[in-house]
Amino acid sequence: MLISAGLDGHYTDPVASLSLSALCYQKVYEIIMNLASEICDGRLVSVLEGGYSSAFVGKIAAAAIARMSGTLYTVKDKVPATHPRARRQGDKVIEEVKRVQRTFWNLY
């Protein structure tokens, strides 16, 4: 499995202006690791391709590498507040993408 690991979605990133936390990235890597175990015997390559928050890009990358090596490492970070309207709109988009992609993928 090849992962293009863009870390520019962190809420402190000055370029992307998204609202992901370090915990979000840790959860995503957990899912990726589980998928790699299920479908390709745990074989995984992750390539860092973006991220400009000097405060967090190294910490998030270190957490991902630690997870891939089986080492316990967590990043202390807060969860940014999300405007309720943005949350609802995002949930609608995610559900629509899932609906369309269920034709091709076994999604939960």
Query: What are the tens digits of pLDDT across the range 42-94?
Result: 999 999 998 999 999 999 999 999 999 999 898 999 888 888 888 899 999 99
- For residues 2 and 99, give the distance between their C-alpha atoms in angstroms, rounded to a whole number: 25
Question: What is the domain extent for residue 62?
Answer: 2-79
**Residue 90 covered by a domain:** no
**Residue 73 covered by a domain:** yes
Task: Give the phi and the psi of residue 102 in degrees, each rounded to 5.
Answer: -60, -25
**Residue 62 covered by a domain:** yes
For the chain, the domain total comes to 1
Q: What is the DSSP letter of 105?
A: S
Which is nearest to 29 in space by CA: 75, 2, 67? 67
Predicted TM-score (pTM) of this structure:
0.73
**Residue 41 covered by a domain:** yes
**Residue 85 covered by a domain:** no
**Residue 99 covered by a domain:** no
